[in-house]
Amino acid sequence: MSLQYVGLKEINGPLVVLDNVEDAAYDEVVEIRLDNGGTRIGRVVEISGKRVVLQVFEGTKGLSLKNTRTRFLGKPMEMPLSTELLGRVFNGAGRPVDGLGEIFPEKYADINGQPLNPVSRTYPRNYINTGISSIDALATLIRGQKLPIFSGSGLSHNKLAVQIVRQAKIAEDNGQGFAVVFAAMGVKNDVADYFRRSFEESGVLQRVVMFLNLSNDPIIERILTPRCALTAAEYLAFEKNMHILVILTDMTAYAEAVREFSSSKGEIPGRKGYPGYLYSDLASIYERAGIINDAQGSITQIPILTMPNDDITHPVPDLTGYITEGQIVLDRGLEQSGVYPPVSVLPSLSRLMKDGIGEGYTRADHSAVSNQLFASYAKVIDARALASVIGEDELSELDKSYMHFGRMFEKYFVAQRDDDNRRIEETLDLGWNLLSLLPESALERVDEQLLKEKYNPSAAELFE
Amino acid sequence: MNTIYSINGPVVKVRDTDDFSMLEMVYAGENRLVGEVISITAEETTIQVYESTTGLKPGESVTGSGMPVSATLGPGILSNIFDGIERPLKKLEEASGAFISVGSEVPHLDMEKKFDVTIKVKTGDMLEGGDIYAVCPETPVIEHRCMVHPDLKGEVIWTAENGSYRVNDTVVKLKKADGTVEELTLCQKWPIKQARPFKKRLPIEKPLITGQRVIDTILPIAKGGTAAVPGGFGTGKTMTQHQLAKWCDADIIVYIGCGERGNEMTQVLEEFSELVDPRTGKALTDRTVLIANTSNMPVAAREASIYTGITLAEYYRDMGYHIAIMADSTSRWAEALREISGRLEEMPAEEGFPAYLPSRISEFYERAGYVESLNGAEGSVSIIGAVSPQGSDFSEPVTQNTKRFVRCFWALDKALAYARHYPAINWNDSYSEYTEDLSDYYTENVDEDFLKYRLEITKILHEENKLMEIVKLIGSDVLPEDQKLIIEIARTVRVGFLQQNAYHKDDTYVPLEKQHLMMGSILNLYENCKKAVAAGVSTAALLETGLFEKVIKIKYDIPNDCLEMFKQLDKEVEEGIKKTIREVT
């Protein structure tokens, strides 16, 4: 039985201070027992001589300076791991909450993980067909990538994430060795339930590990949630050779928890009150994706974040964009005009796409058609801006054809039903047909030979 | 024995000791985590630790190393990949597997590898700091020149035979003035935060040729110069840096991945080992050294990575090489400063950044330059630093402070990137102060008309910029014909000249001569069209000739080694326009 410390020195928000502690280690886990029988888990966040500051995950409600006994467990926060994780539901701190009892661990691992050596990484190249045209053609998802969805409150990001899970052929042999790790941070109960039901309907529930920290759960536990989820993912991917798709929602709520914790510690705030280390903190989550040389598995991350006030320059989306390998941006205007999925094409990007498309991966003409679609759609936006000033009738013939192309592109290419699973060939051909609505000379990104082969003015009849 | 008193993230404090000196390297705790002393008061000494402090306890020992955090400089640096404090990542992988564990001590350079050494001095020679005493081929393209440590001088009393030696083998013995003997090996140590000395700075007059048109022609950088590449995420900072690292005509590239993505470093590793350097015919990795401190590696080492990189560069500069440093991204370095400063509870200046941010940035960029080294060789260090402004807002402190200390500013633009116009360098917001310094070079080595052409091209772009303000309000239809022509010519410049395809075999690198001829062809088209418009031909009719598209596609249609095709093209344009004039009038 190790030493227990009775009572506390100070309580301040989620932080408590203990005095006269011998032998505490930085980042060590503590167990705080209340006199009424409850226990809380905490973590050492600062040591100054014998004074130790602890962060209590489940909150400090009910704690007093006298009614606690604190025990130092002598190890960092760990999570029990085994393949039994699949199909189970845990809380944000990694404890089972589905009433099926504790899991029988094969091993324990530190939830903070360790940085992956860049020379041990395999550069991701295999594309994942999501069946969604705007993603497959223009922001291709690659196995081992981290590709966030930048959304706003009330947009259909959850529906899109579910569609990706359902349609994505993430493992070569469909299903075998494929699993989803789902981490909910500060989301509403209904949203968590929507995901659970959707997993059930698509028959993958037995291959899902869920970590739920709902919006009314303790905020400090939220800081652990993605770390527990990724520890599980790393175990399944790199030790059990599975292809893992990790969905993290909502990263904005996570960042707010970090901010709350930081301000209660009295740290100097950076932009919008977020701590200066938010970039490093987010990176310690997002960088836990990828493929390593000596394992067969992979971790593909799809974090979802709601941009406060739809502002892409808000610190959370901004820093996320600097770490992740691209982003899929959703647009309120499209959503309101009935386009699902409301993918805003121009700011969406996949950084790994260039090496995962083309001959041998998707189709040789992929990069040409996607470049041209981007360039032409950018002209559509210019034409629309002009039309809003001088009226559409006054536009030049070329601008008029851009206006028409823009409408058809959104209607037939971006928009699709949530059960529409398009093959990559279908998507690319659709792209060429749409481009054929424009005069041939406007397609300056495509070399002549390819243009001859693919330009098809008669395709105009397909759209109206 | 000194022991740890407090721990807060990467900041560790030791009480009541006077054993340490500023910037000394120390080992903290039982795992011997590498750290650096960053402040000393009578009561406490503050240390920043370069590794994760999880599990560290107060009461564990802290031992000093007696010297500042230093880089080991010697053969074996090139083609290697290091972390922020010069630990070779491949050796770390062998030691601790795919995940980096703390306290791994591995030698900076491969101590077993043998190099073919030729001794350059003989007994009795008097040597001074910087003198070359031995050389060996480090990679197929770079000869490594071992130089006497700048602080040493003395008489050679013994030399080894030419032959193969390891990094730590003694090859020369030097008797110093005080009579003691110094054994010189193939390597030396140098503190990373101290600039290496040189004889004098030389004026800047040679361009760093990158093969990227918007840079070489419009916004050139000089050898020994500094440039900043600011841009929001997705605007192609990393892509620009990769292109420069691949194609610029430096002898050696130091690529610092500072707080960036792990996969990007993997990509550089893979891609560079497959790519062939057009000048030497050997793999690009033979001239490249990578420093990788990815975003999830410890933050204090991120700060060190910048200094390690520049120290390696200065070392090769002293041998007489031209080095280009790619630092991606300096904002992460500034953020590391902010994070440490916050943990030290220093008074913040703007946006939480410490007040000494500008002085740190200037110290870094001032280590660039074109110099004559101690041994008389000419070498240069050019720095190209990426900046990642928060919220793509160029008024934030890191961008603004960087702007004050660099002479080349390549502003990346979101709108261009959205339209997939790469490199997305905005020609209106960017500038280069080197144009003047380099004018003689361009006139003498490329063509005497080069600068005249460049001026014409920038004028056209500037005109377009003014006209676009009108076009955005009322459309282009109402413009007079000569202004319509400017818009079309500017489009030709943008699409045909400024935009460059990194994935096209000819377009990824374009020699200066072709850049010059391309400008010539565009201006030839413009001159002829002007005549046509003056004769009453409409711009629309000129567009129908297809000649504009033809000029735009020069970059693909005329290979880099068939430049004589330009003459024919220019003739074709001239005749095509003349024909149109005849038909209309």
Domain assignments of chain A as residue spans, ordered by start: 4-75, 79-355, 366-463
Interchain contact A1–B (C-beta under 8 A): no
Interchain contact B7–A (C-beta under 8 A): yes
Among B8, B56, B93, the residue with its CB nearest the CB of A119 is B93
Q: Which residues of B touch A76 (CB under 8 A)?
A: 54-55
Interchain contact A346–B (C-beta under 8 A): yes
Interchain contact A27–B (C-beta under 8 A): yes
Among A113, A349, A386, the residue with its CB nearest the CB of B475 is A386
Measured on CA atoms in the order A402, A404, A407, A412, is the torsion positive or negative? negative
pLDDT (tens digit, 0 to 9) for every residue of chain B, 585 residues total? 899 999 988 899 999 888 999 989 999 999 899 899 999 998 999 999 988 888 899 999 999 999 999 999 999 999 999 999 999 999 999 988 888 888 778 899 999 999 999 999 999 999 999 999 999 999 999 999 999 999 999 999 999 999 999 999 999 999 999 999 999 999 999 999 999 999 999 999 999 999 999 999 999 999 999 999 999 888 888 889 999 999 999 999 999 999 888 888 888 888 888 888 877 888 899 999 999 999 888 888 888 999 999 999 999 999 999 999 999 889 999 988 988 888 888 888 888 899 999 999 999 999 999 999 999 999 999 999 999 998 888 999 999 999 999 999 999 998 898 888 999 999 999 999 999 999 999 999 999 999 999 999 999 999 999 999 888 888 888 889 999 999 999 999 999 999 999 888 889 999 999 999 999 999 999 999 999 999 999 999 999 898 998 999 899 889 999 999 999 999 999 999 999 999 887
Decide: A145 and A161 in contact? Cβ < 8 Å: no
Interchain contact B10–A (C-beta under 8 A): no
Contact state of B58 with A276 under an 8 Å Cβ cutoff: no
**β-strands B288-294, B252-260: how paired?**
parallel
Q: Which residues of A touch B6 (CB under 8 A)?
A: 46-49
Distance from CA of A152 to the nearest CA of B (A): 17
In this predicted complex, what is the ipTM?
Answer: 0.87
Average pLDDT over residues A353-358: 88
Interchain contact B95–A (C-beta under 8 A): no
Residue A172 pLDDT level (bands cut at 50, 70, 90): low
Among B55, B261, B265, the residue with its CB nearest the CB of A27 is B55
Q: Which residues of B touch A269 (CB under 8 A)?
A: 352
Nearest to A52 by CA among B12, B7, B9: B7
Average pLDDT over residues A194-201: 91
Q: Mutating which of B48, B233, B299 best tests the A interface, going by the most A Cβ atoms within 10 A?
A: B233
pLDDT of the residue at B472: 82
Contact state of B234 with A327 under an 8 Å Cβ cutoff: yes
Distance from CA of B446 to the nearest CA of A (A): 30
- pLDDT above 70 for A1: no
Q: Which residues of A touch B332 (CB under 8 A)?
A: 279
Q: Which residues of B touch A46 (CB under 8 A)?
A: 6-8
- pLDDT above 70 for A174: no
Interchain contact B6–A (C-beta under 8 A): yes
Write down the pTM of the prediction: 0.92
Contact state of A389 with B473 under an 8 Å Cβ cutoff: yes
Decide: B79 and B90 in contact? Cβ < 8 Å: no
Backbone angles phi, psi at A26, to 5 degrees: -65, 135
Q: Which residues of B touch A113 (CB under 8 A)?
A: 99
Distance from CA of A382 to the nearest CA of B (A): 8
Residue A464 pLDDT level (bands cut at 50, 70, 90): confident
Report in angstroms the alpha-carbon separations of B67 from B45, B180, B237, B315, B480.
16, 21, 36, 19, 72
CA distance A300 to A303: 10
Residues 185-224, chain A, touching B (beta carbon < 8 A): none
Residue A171 pLDDT level (bands cut at 50, 70, 90): low
Task: Look at the block and give the residue holding tokens 């080894």.
Answer: B160
pLDDT of the residue at B366: 95
- Terminal-residue alpha carbon distance, chain B: 97
Residue in chain A nearest B336 by alpha carbon: A277
Residues 405-424, chain A, touching B (beta carbon < 8 A): none
> From the DSSP assignment, how many helices (H) and strands (E) are in chain B?
17, 26
Interchain contact B64–A (C-beta under 8 A): no
Q: Which residues of B touch A227 (CB under 8 A)?
A: none
Contact state of B263 with A352 under an 8 Å Cβ cutoff: yes
pLDDT of the residue at B391: 80
Distance from CA of B239 to the nearest CA of A (A): 10
Measured on CA atoms in the order B30, B32, B33, B34, is the torsion positive or negative? positive
Enter the CATH code of domain A79-355.
3.40.50.12240
pLDDT of the residue at A59: 82
pLDDT of the residue at A173: 56
Among B56, B292, B418, the residue with its CB nearest the CB of A25 is B56
Interchain contact B332–A (C-beta under 8 A): yes
Residues 226-245, chain B, touching A (beta carbon < 8 A): 232-234
Residue in chain A nearest B414 by alpha carbon: A347
pLDDT digits (tens, 9 = 90+) for A240-267: 999 999 999 999 999 999 999 888 888 8
Task: Show the DSSP H helices in B275-389 as ranges.
Answer: 299-319, 330-343, 357-365
Contact state of B54 with A27 under an 8 Å Cβ cutoff: yes
Interchain contact A123–B (C-beta under 8 A): yes
Contact state of A283 with B296 under an 8 Å Cβ cutoff: yes
Contact state of B475 with A25 under an 8 Å Cβ cutoff: no
Residues 6+ apart with CB under 8 A from A243: A143, A170, A171, A177, A178, A179, A237, A297, A298, A300
Enter the CATH code of domain A4-75.
2.40.10.170
Q: Which residues of B touch A279 (CB under 8 A)?
A: 259, 295, 332, 335
- pLDDT above 50 for A418: yes
Among A347, A396, A448, the residue with its CB nearest the CB of B418 is A347
Contact state of A271 with B475 under an 8 Å Cβ cutoff: no
Backbone angles phi, psi at A36, to 5 degrees: -80, 10
CA distance B181 to B496: 64
- Domain A4-75 and domain A79-355, same fold? Reply is no
Distance from CA of A446 to the nearest CA of B (A): 10
Interchain contact B122–A (C-beta under 8 A): no
Among A123, A268, A371, the residue with its CB nearest the CB of B267 is A123
B460 compared with A40, residue with greater pLDDT: B460
Distance from CA of A326 to the nearest CA of B (A): 7
CA distance A292 to A297: 8
Among A267, A313, A379, the residue with its CB nearest the CB of B342 is A267
E-strand stretches of A283-414 = 291-292, 298-306, 326-330, 343-350
Decide: A56 and A40 in contact? Cβ < 8 Å: yes
CA B61, B65, B67: angle at the middle one, nearest 5?
A: 145
**β-strands A149-151, A298-306: how paired?**
parallel
Q: What torsion do the CA atoms of B232, B238, B243, B246 make, to the nearest 10 degrees? A: 160
CA distance B55 to B100: 15
Q: What percent of chain A has pLDDT over 70?
A: 98
Q: Mutating which of B11, B50, B240, B420 best tests the A interface, going by the most A Cβ atoms within 10 A?
A: B420
- Terminal-residue alpha carbon distance, chain A: 77
Backbone angles phi, psi at A375, to 5 degrees: -65, -45
